[in-house]
């Protein structure tokens, strides 16, 4: 017995985990629906009216059948009255169904809007560590494809779940009023539908989970390949890209087919049971009609009720399958929404209005992965207005130091201070407002040149923007654009050259005039002549400002006040260009290799 239990353990544990996850997700969904309580109540009221009128119609039909006793003995007066009543009932049923659909659509798409808003809002609050650890395509898939799948399932649930349950209960009441014994036949056979549906639904949940995950991986690959198509073609990677896509696509096909196969079994299986119920009602009712205890109209009415009673079992079975898919997709979105945010620093007591520009790193330890130390016991003191260059081989920790200074990551041990204040006691917004940053990788939003330049200073005047563009040597190429500063730039500046994009990013910093500067290979994509002019402009901008310059080309940092030479996460040498060359150490070795 113990051996059997151990073998079943992992599968049973996985099943329990799925159930717990679905319950948690369902609770979150209900918390969103709660904001639209009034619409939900209205939907339930219209659903009740729709069900009652739909169930009253077979009674009128049965009575209409009974008015036709035999040839030449038809009660036309009563038949006319019943037909008028049937028309009114059909009109009420149609109107209530239409109003219920309006309410359900309104609730569904308001909930979807709120979830997308919260998910996108969470992206703005997530630490860089989370974004670095999750593919962009997967995050996009969660916010778009998964939310759409969830919307479809939620809409179906609203439309069919409550009306289905109410139809089953009220149909039983109506059938009991006509004949208890035939009703008993229906009640005894119908639960088979639930057992069949529950058995199949248990097999589908895992497949829907794998389907969503595979879809996210596929979206990420597509995003990666389209965004880097130039590199893909330059290195002849097309074949390998197709191979990778084919592998992921095959997995998605397999999971989708299995999920669809199992879910598609639900409807025909429950319909088979329902046909057995209908046949049982027909045979049993025929005996009662022959014995005279049930009229032909009554039998007709009962057969209609048998259909209406069994139909919701099909719908609810389908809803269960769709809801499993919807809850799986919603769970992935809620994983994003529930992800741990950057620590709330809105309560930060300390604040810097205008920094002096002194920076200290005291016994700083940091690693991206716990068991792989990168920076250990790093100490540095930078005086106000100094130009600090950081050099070293790839992976030595240059950009990591910038990430720590900007507090994109928090240190594992030690502390970083600005103006003798621990940066963890400052709000991130206040800290980052002290810096202007130009990275090697450029980013421009979809909008005009002017809007992109004003990204960090929205209240700047057009004249200020143009002055900053002139200082950064971007003005001349901007004037040559079709509409100058009003030219619309496509997403990430795809209609500009790499050098032009970088000039615009440099112009942003000139407009901002921040107290401190961080330049990470800021001129890597610019021609030599323009670079010399910009270096001269940067020289004027850095006067009196503490500046950190990450450089691979040592020729660009020879005028720095302090050069920090990093290796394996530690500062192995520091000094100015001349003193480091005299030491004939690691810096001198790097300089000779240029």
* pLDDT score at 3: 43
One domain for residues 299 and 396: no
Using DSSP, state whether 385 is helix, strand or coil: coil
CATH of the domain at 499: 3.40.50.300
For 393, which DSSP code? S
Task: Tell me the average pLDDT across 226-252.
Answer: 80
Query: Does any domain span residue 10?
Result: no
Same-domain check for residues 234 and 195: yes
475 and 547 together in one domain = yes
| pLDDT > 90: percent of the chain | 4
Domain containing residue 228: CATH number: 1.20.1560.10
Structure tokens at 372: 């792989």
- Residue 5 has what pLDDT? 44
When pLDDT is averaged across residues 213-222 and rounded to a whole number, the result is 82
- Flag whether 227 is in a domain: yes
Q: Are residues 399 and 312 in the same domain?
A: no
Confidence (pLDDT) at 72: 61
Express each pLDDT in 355-394 by its tens digit.
Answer: 888 899 898 888 888 777 888 888 888 888 888 888 888 7
Q: In terms of residue numbers, what domain contains 87?
A: 17-337
Domain end residue (candidates: 337, 367, 385): 337
Residue 248: per-residue pLDDT: 87
User: pLDDT digits over 25-66, tens only?
Assistant: 888 888 888 888 898 889 889 988 988 888 888 778 777 777
Instruction: Give the mean pLDDT of 488-504.
Output: 79
Are 395 and 310 members of one domain?
Answer: no
pLDDT of residue 202: 62
Same domain, 379 and 323: no
pLDDT score recorded for residue 427: 85
Q: What is the pLDDT of residue 101?
A: 86
Local structure of residue 361 (DSSP, 8 states) = E
Residue 7 lies in a domain: no
Residue 8 is assigned to a structural domain of this protein = no
**Integer CA distances (angstroms), 312 to 44, 59, 137, 315, in order:** 16, 19, 39, 5
The answer to whether residue 346 sits within a structural domain is no
Helix (H, G, I), strand (E, B) or coil at 415: strand
Is 456's pLDDT higher than 70? Answer: yes
Q: Is 429 a member of any domain?
A: yes
Q: Answer yes or no: do 294 and 197 share one domain.
A: yes
Nearest-5° angle of CA 225, CA 231, CA 236? 90
Q: Which of 366, 266, 369, 278 is nearest to 319 (CA)?
A: 266
Of 337, 370, 394, the last residue of a domain is: 337
Confidence bin at 417 (pLDDT 50/70/90): very high
Is residue 184 domain-resident? yes
- Mean pLDDT score of the chain: 80
The number of domains in the chain is: 2
Residue 7 has pLDDT above 50, yes or no: no
Which of residues 520 and 269 earns the better pLDDT score? 520
One domain, residues 258 and 401: no
392 and 319 in a common domain? no
Q: Do residues 389 and 332 share a domain? A: no
Looking at residue 104, what is its pLDDT?
86
Partners of 378 in the beta sheet? 364
Give the distance from CA 84 to its chain's centroid.
Answer: 53
411 or 539, greater pLDDT: 411
Domain co-membership, 178 together with 84: yes
Strands (E), 63-217: 68-70, 73-74
Mark whether 277 and 398 lie in a shared domain. no
Domain assignment present for residue 22? The answer is: yes
- Comparing 587 with 232, the larger pLDDT belongs to 587
> Is the pLDDT score of 4 beyond 50?
no
């Amino acid at each position: 017995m113990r051996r059997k239990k151990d073998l079943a353990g992992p599968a049973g544990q996985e099943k329990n985990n799925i159930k717990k996850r679905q319950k948690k997700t369902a609770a979150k969904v209900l918390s969103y629906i709660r904001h639209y309580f009034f619409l939900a109540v209205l939907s339930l009221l219209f659903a009740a009216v729709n069900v009652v009128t739909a169930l009253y119609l077979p009674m009128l039909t049965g009575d209409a059948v009974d008015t036709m006793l035999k040839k030449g003995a038809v009660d036309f007066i009563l038949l006319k009255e019943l037909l008028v009543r049937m028309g009114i009932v059909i009109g009420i049923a149609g109107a209530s169904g239409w109003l219920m659909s309006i309410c359900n659509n309104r609730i569904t798409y308001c909930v979807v809007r709120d979830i997308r808003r919260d998910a996108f809002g969470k992206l703005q609050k997530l630490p860089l560590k989370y974004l670095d650890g999750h593919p962009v395509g997967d995050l996009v898939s969660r916010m778009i494809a998964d939310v759409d799948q969830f919307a479809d399932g939620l809409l179906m649930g609203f439309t069919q779940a409550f009306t289905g349950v109410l139809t089953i209960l009220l149909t039983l009441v109506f059938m009991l009023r006509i004949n208890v014994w035939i009703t008993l036949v229906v009640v005894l056979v119908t639960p088979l539908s639930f057992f069949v549906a529950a058995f199949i639904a248990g097999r589908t949940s895992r497949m829907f989970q794998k389907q969503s995950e595979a879809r996210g991986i596929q979206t990420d690959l597509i995003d990666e390949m389209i965004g880097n198509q130039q590199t893909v073609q330059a290195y002849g990677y097309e074949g390998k890209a197709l191979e990778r896509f084919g592998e992921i696509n095959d997995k998605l096909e397999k999971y989708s087919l299995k999920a669809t196969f199992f879910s598609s079994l639900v409807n025909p299986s429950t319909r088979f049971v329902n046909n057995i119920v209908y046949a049982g009602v027909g045979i049993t009712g025929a005996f009662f009609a022959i014995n005279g205890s049930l009229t032909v109209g009554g039998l007709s009415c009962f057969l209609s009720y048998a259909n209406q009673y069994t139909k919701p079992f099909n719908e609810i079975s389908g809803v269960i399958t769709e809801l499993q898919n919807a809850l799986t997709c919603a769970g992935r979105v809620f994983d994003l929404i529930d992800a741990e945010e950057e620590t709330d620093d809105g309560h930060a007591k300390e604040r810097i209005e205008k920094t002096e520009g002194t920076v200290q790193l005291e016994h700083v330890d940091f690693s991206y992965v716990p068991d792989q130390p990168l920076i250990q016991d790093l100490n540095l003191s930078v005086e106000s207005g100094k130009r600090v260059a950081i050099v070293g081989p790839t992976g030595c920790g240059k950009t990591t130091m910038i990430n720590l200074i900007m507090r994109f990551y928090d240190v594992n041990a030690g502390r970083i201070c600005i103006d003798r204040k621990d940066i963890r006691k400052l709000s991130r917004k206040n800290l980052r407002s002290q810096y202007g940053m130009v990275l090697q990788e450029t980013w421009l939003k979809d909008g005009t040149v002017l809007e992109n330049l004003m990204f960090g200073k929205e209240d700047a005047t057009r004249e200020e923007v143009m002055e900053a563009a002139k200082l950064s040597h971007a003005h001349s190429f901007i004037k040559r654009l079709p509409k100058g500063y009003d030219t619309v730039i496509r997403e990430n500046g795809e209609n500009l050259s790499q050098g032009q994009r970088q000039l615009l990013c440099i112009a942003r910093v000139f407009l901002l005039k921040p107290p401190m500067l961080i330049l990470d290979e800021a001129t890597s994509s610019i021609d030599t002549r323009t670079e010399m002019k910009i270096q001269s402009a940067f020289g004027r901008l850095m006067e009196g400002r503490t500046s950190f310059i990450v450089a691979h080309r040592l020729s660009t940092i020879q005028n720095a006040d302090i050069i920090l030479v990093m290796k394996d996460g530690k500062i192995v040498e520091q000094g100015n260009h001349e003193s480091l060359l005299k030491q004939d150490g690691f810096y001198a070795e790097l300089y000779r290799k240029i």
